[in-house]
Every structure is written in C-alpha cells, then in structure tokens.
Structure 1
Amino acid sequence: MPIVSVTMNPAVDLFAVTETIHADTKSRCNKALEEPGGGGINVARNIQRLGTNTLVVFPAGGLNGERLKHLLERDGCRFQAVPVASETRQNFAITESSTGAMHHFVFPGPDLSAAELAACQQAIVGQHPAPEYLVLSGSIPASVPDNFYGELTQAANAQGTKVVLDSSGRALRGALYRGAYLAKLNRYEFAELGYPTDAPIDELKRQMAEEVAKGAVDVLIVTLARGGALLCSKDGERYYFMPPPSPIVSHVGAGDSFVSALVFHLQRGTPLREAFRYGIAAASTKVQTEGNQLTDFAKLAEVYAQTDTPRTES
C-alpha cells in the first residue's frame, strides 16, 4: 500500500441543519448527514477518491466503532480496525441556517490500555511492504502518551517511509524533531512552538526557516486560513500561495483535504511546489461544501488554476 494513514481518535461525524438554535428547548433539525470522521480517516477517503490506494488504521470499539466500520465499508475505503474496549466517540456539527453559523461539538476519545496501544502500534508499523508515506493525522486521546507519534515516526523512518504530520498540541510536540518528512500546522499550532500569532509574513518565514534548520521536519507548512499558506524546506524552497476568495460553508475537513491532495500528488511524483499548491486549492474547495470530504474535483481544478503563484520565493 503506497500510503497508510493513522487516526488514533476516530469518530462518527453527524452533520445537521436547524433554522435557529434555541436555549432550554428543542432545536429541530431538518437535514442530517452521517460520515466516518477523524483526520486520518478523512485523508484516506479523499486519497482513495482521488485515485490512489490507501489504508487507514484506527482503534474501534463499541456500537460507534461498528458503525464507523460499516460507513467505511459502504465507501469502499480500505481499513484496519484495532479492537478496543472503550466506545468510539461521536461528534456533531449543527449549522444554524438563519445565521449561517456552524456549531461543531467534539467529544473526548476512548481510553486505550497499554496492550491496545501496542496493538495499534504494531498494526501501523507492521505493514509489509512498508508504505511510501505514513500520515499521522488528528488528535490523540488522553490515554495515549505524548511521544506516541514520535515513536511511530522513528519506526517508520527506519523502514524508509516518509512521515507526514498533521496534528497539534502534545501529539505534535512529541513528534517534531524525530525525523518526520513534513508537518502541516495552522498559525495557532505554530505559535504553540513559542512564536507570536501576529508576526508579519516575512518574520513568519524566518521563524519557519529557524525551525527547519533546527531539525523539526524537512518540510514545514503553516496555513493562514483565508491568507493561504507558507512552505519552507531544508533544501531552501520557500513558497507562499493564496487561493481565490470563496464562500465558507463548512470548515470541517479542510485541513484534511489539504493533506490529502498534497500527499496524493507527492506520491505520484509531483514536485513539492505544485503538490503544495494543490493542497491549498483542496482546502479552499472543501470549505465551499458540506460534510467533511473533498468531492468536487472539477472545482478543485478550477481553484488550483486560480491559486496565486508565490508572493515571495527565494
């Protein structure tokens, strides 16, 4: 399998629409959509739809775990579910049609035992042949050690696999400086490394180059919401792309769509510059649709064509 993705905190995602969210009474919903959720699951489904075989590994337990597997089977997405005793979570997002605001409710993940964690780790690093890319995406439950992604990164490197990180908080901090090929952070996640959130673009580029020079990753990407994204690599590549203006329907899955298109194109041999540009276009395309998936590939091609060339490049 050329690409394997990991979701240590999967979910069944429920999306619904109501006219107005009321306090202390019922808010009746007139539209519902149920989707498999969690960073690595979103990435795997997108990449499968783009046209490359992928496998997603995740822990699954209880009725929600069974429902999650059923939803993935329905989509034809290849997966390896590690049985665990704790119930898989369910998240939900409610859009208030009167205001256009989305309210996204995210719940805690499962409690995993030491034996269950070991089984997850073996399922991930025990793939034969080793994948070209391993995507470590999303949060980790409280029961998972801070260095879990870091240990997976080192084990993958020993097999010649390139690791892509798309996480935050303690999961991200435990994985940086461990040999990962690429990490995608948003502005606030980057600030958690000890930088201000309001630095000018030129200063942000300098800070990113500093982290790369210190060995955080080979390629560092920082996204800027409506402001596009920056890339800095240890080989001296510096890019800044801006997508065209677009209406926002749902932010859910935008970052996962970015990683999906990026890794899909890297695995196909697309140069880093253009794979990065596709990632930005994919995130911009996703926010214009409901749900958590990248589905409109005609729109993706259109947005890619309109995504600005780097504002600065050196």
Structure 2
Amino acid sequence: MADAREGWACATQGRLVQEFCDRSGVPYVVFQATRGRNAVAERADFSAALAQSPLPGAELVAGLQAADWNQALRSLAVAVPDDRPSIAVIDEVPWLVERDREFEGALQTVWDRHLSVKPVLLILVGSDMSVMEALRSYGRPFFGRATKMTVRPLHLADVRAMTRLDAADAVDALLITGGFPEIVQSWRPGMGRTDFLREAVANPLSPLLVAGELSLLGEFPEASHARAVLEAVGRGERTFSAIAAQAGGAGALPSGTLSPLLHTLQTKRILATDLPLSTKADTKNKRYRIADPYLRFWLAFLRRAIPLIERGRGDLALERIERSWTTWRGRAVEPIIRESLLPPAPR
C-alpha cells in the first residue's frame, strides 16, 4: 500500500509504480480510478483494463460485466497466474472508497479467499494519506493485510545534486520546487534562482505553474471554503481569527465552519501547525502554515500571478517575487531547518 504526501506527489508515485512494473519482467495490470465516477463505470473500466493486460488469464475475463466489486476483483484472481509472479496495481484507491464503500469489504474478501494464495504483488496507491492510513486501521476490512510505503519528494541533497547548486542556493531550490522531481528536472543544472523563475514565469505551462493548480483542483474546487482557507494561509495568515477573516470574504467564517475545515486539512497533511515553546500546552496560540514547501511558494506568489503570466507579463510576477523573497524565505525555511535537526527515526 503506497501513499503520497499530497496530491501532486501522486503523479510521481504513479510514474514510479509504472517504472517498477516495466522493469519487473513479470505480467502486470495497472488500473487508475477516476474521481467522481460512478461505481458501475469504474468496474467496467477495471474489467477492460484486465482484459487488455498481459496477464495470462486476461482472455478468460474478457467481456465480463461485473455486477459488484466482489465479482470484479474475483476476475483479477482469475487473470493472475498461479505458477509465477505477477503485479496488480489499483491507483487512487481513495476515490474508489469515496464512491462505493463496498469496495473495501470486497477487496478484503477476495484477497483472503483468492489472491493471497497466489504469487501476486497487489499495490494500492492513493494520494490522500488520511484515507490510505484509515484503510489499514483497526476495525476496517483490510486491517493487518498491507504494508505501508510513503513516497516523499526529493531530499535536499537530491535537489542539490540535480541542480548542481551550492548549499544555500539548493535550499532556495527546495523551497521553490518542494523537491517534486518533475519541477526539479525543469531546473537546468547551475541555473540561479532568479534565472529559473524568469524562465518559469515566461511559460504559462511550465511545471512550476501548472503543478499547484493541478494539485488543488484534484482535491479542492476553486469555490470551496477549504480552498479559501488554503489561500488565506498561503497569503501569510497564520492565526485562527485572521484566517477566518480572510477566507470568509464579506464576513468572517464562523468558528463552526472553520474549525472542522482546519482539522480536515491537517489530517490530510496539507496544513501544519506550530505551537509556542512552553512547559504547558498552549493550543490557543497555535500558528498554521502550508505543510508543503512548493505549495507554500505557489500560493504565496504564483496563484495570483497566473493572469499576468497568461498575458505575457511574467516580468511583473517576477518583480513581486523578488520584492518579497527575503522576508518570505526567512519564515519558509524554518520548518525545513527544524526537520533537519530532528533525530532520525529508529529503524
């Protein structure tokens, strides 16, 4: 079971899984769910993916119209071989669970009765970490049947190696790209921060600009309260009252609306909180921030600059970044330094 730190990371995660399958030398099937699609259409696509896969038993399930997920997953058990290894990937599992709660129970039943006795590696992928972790929790059907793997963005050392920058400039590169491989790859080796940004804001389709919108649209519609809260925090609001005032528009968001939104965004690892250093717990003075460095940069500088960039005035967007860069960086770098000072987790 693999999960990603946030939505944009899932594209990298999917690429890694595909590369793993291609290099494995064994037959495999990859199915990717579509958000918001009804369960009947998803099962039809799942059956079609099986029938078109190189799995030895694919022809045995061709044309199958599964009435439920139990039947659809049993067809997977028919398609995978008994005598040699194979791989089955189900991508964006949270979206399947969201649309059809039957999926979890069906997966557990088919795994226990049919798939677990075969030499098949079942990989479940999802970008919503809270949902993926819940699937493995006590009381859920798949409890005790999966091993977790979290795919994280590139480490600072990796960013430095790819960009060939000195230590200080590599930190800047991490703050801007978040360590996401596709964005880091667009940073030509040895290129300075300003030159990279100048090149990125000259192209409305550059990975630096596109990734943020894709990440948010995948989880939060533009008109949603959650999106408004994220944009308020991205603009620099850190306290509960300031976020409520900014996100509410004409009037502040009521506490009964904002509190569960903040809780959900923290559960999804999109927001993080910092507490005052004290001998006593002080939750009243907590400060909120965007957890991911790239999304923090995108919301602070690029979200509002997209109309300018689309009109060919990336130069104005760059000027705004340069004016605020030193101040913004001073605060944005703190979580990275704090995390780097933490002792490594025991193995």
Query: Structure 1 length normalisation: TM-score?
Result: 0.31
Compare CA radii of gyration and give the structure with the larger one.
2
Q: Point out the structure with the larger strand share.
A: 1
Q: Point out the structure with the larger helix share.
A: 2
